[in-house]
Chains A and B, each alone.
Chain A
Amino acid sequence: MTTSTLRFRLGRLLVAGCLMLAGSLPLAAADNPTPAQQQAERQQTQPGNNAPMWREVRSGDSFFTTNRGPEAGVLIQSEGDTWRHLRNGPVTFYGGILLMLVAAAILIFYKIKGPLTLHDAPTGRLIQRFPRYERVVHWLTAGSFVILAVTGLAMLFGKHVMIPVIGHSLFGYLMVLGKNVHNFIGPLFAASLLAMIVIWARDNVWQSIDALWIRKAGGLITGEHVPSGRFNFGEKTWFWIGVTILGLTVSISGFVMNFPNFDQTRNDMQIANIVHSVSAIVMLLLAFGHIYMGTIGAHGAFDSMKTGYVDETWAKEHHEQWYNDVKAGKSGHPQG
């Protein structure tokens, strides 16, 4: 095909499109008979031909019924099919693959690079990194997150993964528990999430030193220590994208499904479900990284959240700016 014919065709399409638009506009503005009128008229001209009525049924509109159930007036809702194919298709398939790939990638990274260790010897002098209330909030969030992740994964992948192993009945019984746990822990997670955002937002604001961290990729590859504030840019990324954005998305979409008693439609809940699953999987992927770094990825990190204290060497090497602030008494955190 030459360019000229292509241009010609495009031009023709454009003209046709304009014509169609022009043609449809006055039509839309004209007094269109309602479907009910169409049906009434059709009954006059062709009794027994209910085509207008069937079109209405397919539209998913709500009709008259004495039934008081949710959306009882809707005869056929087609969105369910779209939701089913999205959920059972891409979400399950790519979600599953991504989870496995990322887990494997982290494992391989660990195998190759090993954990981040301290360059200098610990001083034995401890400084407080996380006061008690911060730790409580963290572990509440983390604990509920893990529970939600496990039960959520079971809901999405359980029947592919667990049923062939443990069978329908046992899985069913476990899932009755799992689903209720998920539904009741969910709001707890959301609450502790909000608390977490409030207490850590200030320390996660962009600082000029973060540019250095980005330039050096956090020293993950080279193993060198990059100075940073109380939280380095990696942690900040996790905080803003993982915790704040995804956490809130997951919570809100979860609430849409968890409290169906606000007249939300099935369609609302379908959309919420897809948003929930996708954001939860992405959050989980990021969480893999966070958990890795917080446990076996970096020595000392786990202790800091467990006890709330870090060795001065650790602080200096990982969060030099914060260390200096603490030493200067500017961190705002009590010293122990």
Chain B
Amino acid sequence: MKKALFLVLTVTVGLVACGEYSQVPNYKQGNYQGKSDVRPWEGEKFAGNKQAWENALRARNQGQTEYNRIK
């Protein structure tokens, strides 16, 4: 009985590894592979309005080029 249990356990533990997913996500745009985390636009400030968040970031992005400012 003991032996059987041991065998079963070994096999299960061994086979469980097959359930492992790849640790290196193949990044695809807009495809969420994270673990549980709130997304940046889900905070207090944007309250889930992804569009508004994207616009805010876009403006910040552009703020980094001084050519825009001296034109």
Question: How distant is A296 from chain B, measured CB to nearest CB, in Å?
Answer: 10
CA distance A159 to B23 in the complex (A): 10
The answer for the CA separation of A156 and B19 in the assembled complex, in Å, is 16
The answer on a CB contact under 8 Å between A161 and B10 is no
A280, B17: Cα distance in complex, Å: 21
Looking at A96, A107, A160, A163, the one whose CB has the most chain B CB atoms below 10 A away is A160
Q: Which of chain A's residues have a CB closer than 8 A to the CB of B16?
A: 160-161, 164-165
Contacting B20 at CB < 8 Å: which of A107, A111, A160, A168? A160
Assembly CA distance A103 to B23 (angstroms): 27
In the bound complex, do residue A161 and residue B17 qualify as a contact, i.e. CB atoms below 8 Å apart? yes
B10 contact set on A, CB distance < 8 A: 100, 103-104
- Tell me whether B17 and A96 are in contact (CB under 8 A): yes
Q: In the complex, what's the smallest C-beta–C-beta distance from B8 to chain A, in angstroms? A: 12
A82 to B5 CA separation, bound complex (whole angstroms): 40
Is A157 a contact of B17 with CB atoms below 8 Å?
yes
The smallest beta-carbon distance between B16 and chain A, in angstroms, is 6
Q: A161 to B13, Cβ gap below 8 A?
A: yes
| B residues near A163, Cβ cutoff 8 Å | 20
Residue of A at shortest CB range from B21?
A: A164
B7 within 8 A of A: yes
- Interface assignment of B71: CB less than 8 Å from any CB of chain A: no
Q: Are A159 and B20 in contact (CB under 8 A)?
A: yes
Judge if B28 is at the interface, Cβ distance under 8 Å. Answer: no
Which interface class (under 10, 10 to 19, 20 to 34, 35 or more) fits B? 10 to 19
State the Cβ distance, A227 to closest chain B Cβ, in Å. Answer: 32
Number of A residues, CB within 8 Å of B:
14
13 contacts between A and B (CB under 8 A): A100-B10, A107-B3, A107-B6, A107-B7, A111-B3, A160-B17, A161-B13, A161-B16, A161-B17, A164-B16, A164-B19, A164-B20, A165-B16
In the complex the two chains form, is B14's CB within 8 Å of A100's CB? yes
A residues in contact with B14, CB < 8 Å: 100
Q: Which of A100-148 contact B (CB under 8 A)?
A: 100, 103-104, 107, 111
For A103, list chain B residues within 8 Å (CB). Answer: 10
Q: How far is the CA of A107 from the CA of B23 in the complex (A)?
A: 33
Cα A107 to Cα B8 in complex, Å, equals 12
Residue of A nearest to B15 (CB): A161
Closest chain B CB from A158 CB (angstroms): 11
C-alpha spacing A275/B6, complex, angstroms: 30
A103 CA to B19 CA in the complex, in Å?
22
> With A and B bound together, what is the CA distance between A100 and B13 in angstroms?
10
Which 6 A-B pairs rank lowest in CB-CB distance, beginning with the nearest? A164-B19, A160-B17, A160-B20, A100-B14, A161-B17, A161-B16
Q: B69 an interface residue at 8 Å Cβ cutoff? A: no
Min CB–CB distance B25 → chain A (angstroms): 15
- Of B6, B7, B35, the contact of A168 (CB 8 Å cutoff): B35
Minimum C-beta distance from B64 to chain A (A) = 21
Please report the C-alpha to C-alpha distance between residue A224 and residue B19 in the assembled complex, in whole angstroms.
Answer: 46
Chain A residue numbers with a CB within 8 Å of B17 are 96, 157, 160-161
Query: How far is A306 from B44 in the complex, measured between Cα atoms in Å?
Result: 64
Min CB distance A16 to B, Å, is: 41
Contacts of B19 in A (CB 8 A): 164
